[in-house]
Structure formats: C-alpha cells, structure tokens
Amino acid sequence: MSNDEIRQAEKRGYSKGYLAGRRLKKRKDEQESRRRERQAFLDRAFLSILPAAMNAQGWTFGDTPISSTQDRVKLARRWAEEALKQRPFV
C-alpha cells in the first residue's frame, strides 16, 4: 500500500467514525427531547389533577381509605401516570 492509499483509508475511517458519532448524538438528543416532553406532560397532568384528588371523598387504595394529604398526592400521581400511559403519540 502506498502512502496515498493509507491516507485515503485513514480519511474514510475518520469519516465513518465522525458520521457514527453524529448519528449517536442525534439519537440521544431525540431521546432526551422525548423524555423532556413526557415529563412536561406528566407535570401538567399532575398539577391539573391535584385539586380533584385533594377533594376526593370515599376513595381507597385497596382497603385503606385515602385521607391524608400524602395519600391524595399519591392518588394524583397515579392518575397523572395513567394519563401519560393513555396519551396518544403522534
């Protein structure tokens, strides 16, 4: 192999590595964007549902009645998580 052929092979290798790194970064950026979007939806849903959970009467977790603030916040969180699961993805 001549020096010119070696340099060309090195350039190809660098180019492939560079492109692979760009694809990986793009994929990670897209995943982070989806994660932030899901978290933002969950936050909005939780804050929207919290007043209803605070006023819920007669609800239970299994056989345990929901009466404390902590239980009511837990109920709102569960509702928000369920809303996220049911959310259509476009």
pTM here?
0.72
What is the DSSP annotation of the chain?
--HHHHHHHHHHHHHHHHHHHHHHHHHHHHHHHHHHHHHHHHHHHHHHHHHHHHH--S-EETTEE--SHHHHHHHHHHHHHHHHHHPPP-
pLDDT digits (tens, 9 = 90+) for 34-68: 999 999 999 999 999 999 999 989 999 889 999 99
| Maximum C-alpha span of the chain | 83
Helix (H) or strand (E) holding 60: strand 60-61
**pLDDT value for 32:** 96
pLDDT digits (tens, 9 = 90+) for 3-12: 888 888 788 8
